[in-house]
Amino acid sequence: MTSPQIEPSRPESPTGWRRLVARLPIHLYRIGLGPLLGRRLLLLLHRGRTTGATHQVVLEVVTYDPRSPAWTVASGFGPMADWYRNLRATPKVTIQYGRRYHAVTAHFLSEEEGSRVMAGYAAVHPRLAGRLCAYMGFSVDGSPEEFRRAGRAIPFVRLDGGTEQQAG
């Protein structure tokens, strides 16, 4: 039986103390301690689509392919997240992964690609995938098909290129 397409109730961007806590990893990267957060996170440096100002956001790495290299990230706040919209306007950006900076180009995954990415992530991290889906307003029963269904509605971005750059 196929479930109907779902429209999640996206979480609202954090405000107040929750925003401060959510942005804490950015401050750790700024003072040189970002690599202590491990290989599950990266710092994305991107340009504002209207102001041109440089912005930063820390994102969870959903998949990493060291051969390319390529990193896949997801927009938990949906396609209206500022960083996601900024990448749509200017897809050439810089990331910090570990201690290294890389020039990358954002490629926006199709719904079908997103479904495969989410199913793969859930196979490796079932509890985290379930919590992530619940946070984003998706009801999943833990089956691969449910994660694929949720993945069709989650905006995934692959950051390709990985030309290493000097810090700073």
pLDDT attached to residue 168? 55
Q: Which domains does the chain have, with CATH numbers?
A: 16-165 (2.30.110.10)
Tokens at residue 157, please? 């971005």
Residue 31 neighbours by CB under 8 Å, 6+ apart = none
Instruction: Give 124 or 4, the one with higher predicted confidence.
Output: 124
Q: What is the pLDDT of residues 11-40, one digit of tens each?
A: 666 677 776 677 788 989 989 998 898 889
Lowest mean pLDDT among 3-7, 102-106, 132-136: 3-7
3-state secondary structure of 8: coil
pLDDT attached to residue 14? 67
Strand pairing report for 100-108 and 156-165:
antiparallel
Q: What pTM does this model have?
A: 0.85
Distance separating alpha carbons of residues 105 and 55, to the nearest angstrom:
16
Q: What number of CA atoms fall less than 13 Å from residue 164's CA on the CB side? A: 6
